[in-house]
Amino acid sequence: MSASLPAASIPVSPTAVQGSWDWTHTAWSALGVLVLLVAIGAIYGPTLDAPFIFDDEWTVISNPSLVRLWPLVAPGPEGGPLNPPGNFPTSARPIVNLSLAVNYYFGQLEPRGYRVVNAAIHAGCALLLWGLVAGTLRLEYFGGRFTRAAGPLGFVVALLWALHPLTIEGVAYLTQRTESSMALCYLATLFASLRYWAATRPRVRAVWLATATVVCALGMMCKEVMVSAPVIVLLFQRTFLAGSFLTAIRRSWPLYLGLALGWIPLAEVYLSGHATPLAGFDQGYPATTWWLTQATVLLLYARLAVWPWPLVITYDLPRVSHPLEAWPALVVVGLAIAVVLWSAWRGRSLGFIGLAVLAVLAPTSLIPMFDEVAAERRMYLPLAAIVALAVVAGYALLVRLAARKSSPAAVPRWSLVALGTLAATVAVVFATLDTRRLALFQDPLLLWQDAERWQPDNAMVQANIGMALNAVGRREEGFKHTERAVQIKPHWFQTHYNLALAYENAGEVYRAIDEYDATLRYRPAFVPAHNNLGRLLAAVGKSSQAIDHYRQAVELEPHFVAAHTNLAIALFGQGETGEALVHFRTALKLKPSVETYANLAGACGQLGRFDEAIPLAEQALELARANGQDALADQIEAGLDAYRQQVAR
């Protein structure tokens, strides 16, 4: 794999990228940046007030580690922004969790601030992609073929990628800030490495070395897919600059040492017990089934990259358990991988692009995920490489065609005009599809009903339609979809959990208890089911059983505020006031809110500890007034007056 390139293609030194950053048309570059930012703003601006959807409930609304910015890492169940709870979407992604905590600090649970940040990250990715493509095309590797067109080509790549509908999930679905933040760091690592190789002054070189090291480490803590970044940087230098891996390492060993340091925080996150929920080789079916299925998924991704419609918020594709069931996909994917490996061996740019795409997709293609066979967001970063290949190859083809019909001097201009016209057409098509797709994110029910059009037998889709219908009061319709989900996947814990919620909302307590029991039969460690089952058992007078489930909930998830509160109330009712106060105080530490202050104040008041109850009730009253909860504030104030009277006596 370290075979050399043809001699004419090997740069004479790692400083051969000097001049790559000589922007001769600064005004045009500034106009391009403006166009790019306006296009992104025009597409995503109308969605800024769209509600939270899907996993946003766990990522933002129910995430106790967002409610305070300091300390960043706190011991115990209260955690901190850099210590998110286990089994949450941000569990192994502390940097993203910190960014969400900043959003929470400034805007609480208003979606607008979160969406603005997501759109800004997307714009940052597009700008970095522009610079990376333009800088790469100016390298001596390409023999000057793209030097004059490098800037415009980089702009076209960035624009088409930014508007491609396949990137929508990475922006509009707030939880997927994990994906876009990782992509930002991945692109920044490559960009900083390119500038490192271009630098001639030691001080400048040191700055870019430090930048690459830091952003690579940050990316590792945004999403685990970043793990391949140091290897892809090495492959980039070997392909475009050095000609062999040994030469690349010898010339840039400080860079690779710095990038490798990024693996340390990633290992630390996993060794501390944090990991992506519902991912691993213990998901209930053979790894070979997952790998065979992923062959068909890769073809799906390829099709969506070319024509991104229809798009679905969650995919449930048939599992493939035997090679003969997927032989067409295996043949196509196998041939594609063979071509990529051959091209990489020969030092071709196609090999680098292909391996970069495969490297980013590898973790989710190799490691099973229980309920996500495919996801559009996984193509967020790989799509950038695919768009770059398509645009540059298209331009090269136009140059070849123009050379037959135009004078040599007119070839570059004619080719760029033709490419610009074609790119503008594609951009308009993408923008139209974006607008149509993003309109669905304004209403969760519409989003899930649209998914049902394309995947009517998807249990996750049916379950979420049921919940969305229940949320707007259409319970009978919701029941039909929730029960349909159970019929499709009778052994899946999530369908039983959703049906339990539907029964509970309808007041059918005992049927809800049965469904929560079924949920725990298929997923014994599912914390929300333990908490909800405990509530219902307490409601029907089975306090001891309720306490058992609450205890399991807080043992499995020490950050779960509702479980601590419910356990405290149940213990208080049983006369176990000491332990009850511990859990009331834990709930307050996890989430200082009107409810947690009022609960602890009430418990202290009932125990006659009025000196402790008064400041807690005062804090609860202040928060209630600030939040406009006037009725609750009046109740708290009446209790506070009673405590003060008791102290006065």
C-alpha dist (Å) from residue 143 to 105, 146, 147, 278:
52, 8, 9, 48
Q: How far is residue 173's CA from residue 377's CA, in Å, rounded to a whole number?
A: 9
Residue 3 has pLDDT above 80, yes or no: no
3-class secondary structure, 97: helix
Share of the chain above pLDDT 70, in %: 92
Predicted confidence (pLDDT) per residue in 291-334, tens digit: 999 999 999 999 999 999 999 999 988 889 889 998 999 999 99
pLDDT class of 471 with cuts at 50, 70, 90 = confident
Share of the chain above pLDDT 90, in %: 63
Which residue do the tokens 């029964």 mark?
Answer: 503
Calculated CA dihedral for residues 588, 592, 593, 594, nearest 10 degrees: 70
Residues whose CB is less than 8 angstroms from the CB of residue 7 and which lie 6 or more positions away in sequence, other chains included: none
Residue 54 has pLDDT above 60, yes or no: yes
**Which of 275-279, 291-295, 588-592, 631-635 is predicted least confidently?**
275-279
Q: Check residue 76 and give its pLDDT.
A: 61
Residue 14 has pLDDT above 70, yes or no: no
Between these two residues, 87 and 172, which has the higher pLDDT value?
172
Q: Is the pTM of this model over 0.85?
A: yes
Residue 15 has pLDDT above 50, yes or no: no
Predicted confidence (pLDDT) per residue in 132-175, tens digit: 999 999 999 999 999 989 999 999 999 999 999 999 999 999 99
Q: How far is residue 349's CA from residue 356's CA, in Å, rounded to a whole number?
A: 11
The pLDDT of 462-468, averaged and rounded, is 92
Q: How far is residue 580's CA from residue 558's CA, in Å, rounded to a whole number?
A: 15
pLDDT class of 606 with cuts at 50, 70, 90 = confident
Q: Check residue 649 and give its pLDDT.
A: 73
Q: How far is residue 448's CA from residue 121's CA, in Å, rounded to a whole number?
A: 26
CB atoms within 10 A of CB 57: 13
Which residue do the tokens 């229940």 mark?
Answer: 470
Residues whose CB is less than 8 angstroms from the CB of residue 515 and which lie 6 or more positions away in sequence, other chains included: 496, 497, 499, 500, 503
Q: What is the DSSP letter of 167?
A: G
The pLDDT of 544-565, averaged and rounded, is 92
Which residue do the tokens 């974006």 mark?
Answer: 434
The average confidence (pLDDT) of the chain is: 89
C-alpha dist (Å) from residue 200 to 203, 237, 311, 626:
9, 17, 47, 57
Predicted confidence (pLDDT) per residue in 187-201, tens digit: 999 999 999 999 999
pLDDT class of 273 with cuts at 50, 70, 90 = low
The pLDDT of 617-644, averaged and rounded, is 87
Which residue do the tokens 């193509």 mark?
Answer: 379
Q: Check residue 17 and give its pLDDT.
A: 47
Domain residue extents for the chain: 593-649
Q: Check residue 407 and give its pLDDT.
A: 63
Predicted confidence (pLDDT) per residue in 523-548, tens digit: 998 999 999 999 999 999 999 999 99
Predicted confidence (pLDDT) per residue in 386-415, tens digit: 999 999 999 999 998 887 776 666 677 788
Highest mean pLDDT among 112-121, 395-404, 637-646: 112-121
Predicted confidence (pLDDT) per residue in 216-269, tens digit: 999 999 999 999 999 999 999 999 999 999 999 999 999 999 999 999 998 888
**Omega of the bond leading into 310 within 30 degrees of 0 (cis):** yes
**Among 424, 559, 550, which residue's Cα sits nearest to residue 63?**
559
- Long-range contacts from 493-497, C-beta under 8 angstroms, 24+ separation: 493/518, 493/519, 493/520, 493/522, 493/523, 493/526, 493/529, 494/371, 494/459, 494/460, 494/463, 494/519, 495/459, 495/463, 496/522, 497/526, 497/528, 497/529
Burial category of 131 from C-beta neighbours within 10 Å (exposed 0-12, middle 13-18, buried 19 and up): buried
Residues whose CB is less than 8 angstroms from the CB of residue 492 and which lie 6 or more positions away in sequence, other chains included: 371, 459, 522
Residue 570 has pLDDT above 90, yes or no: yes
**DSSP sequence for 168-213:** HHHHHSGGGHHHHHHHHHHHHHHHHHHHHHH--SHHHHHHHHHHHH
Tokens of 438: 């993003």
Q: Check residue 605 and give its pLDDT.
A: 87
- Let me know: does 132 contact 194? Beta carbons within 8 Å: yes
Side-chain-side CA neighbours of residue 590 (13 Å): 25
3-class secondary structure, 435: helix
The pLDDT of 113-130, averaged and rounded, is 98
3-class secondary structure, 517: helix
3-class secondary structure, 88: coil
Q: How far is residue 270's CA from residue 329's CA, in Å, rounded to a whole number?
A: 33
pLDDT class of 348 with cuts at 50, 70, 90 = very high
Helix axis angle for 527-539 and 509-522, nearest 10°, is: 150
Residues whose CB is less than 8 angstroms from the CB of residue 563 and which lie 6 or more positions away in sequence, other chains included: 527, 530, 531, 534, 550, 553, 554, 557
Tokens of 412: 């570059």
Residue 550 has pLDDT above 80, yes or no: yes
Predicted confidence (pLDDT) per residue in 497-525, tens digit: 989 998 998 889 999 999 999 999 999 98
Distance of CA 477 to the CA centre of its chain: 31
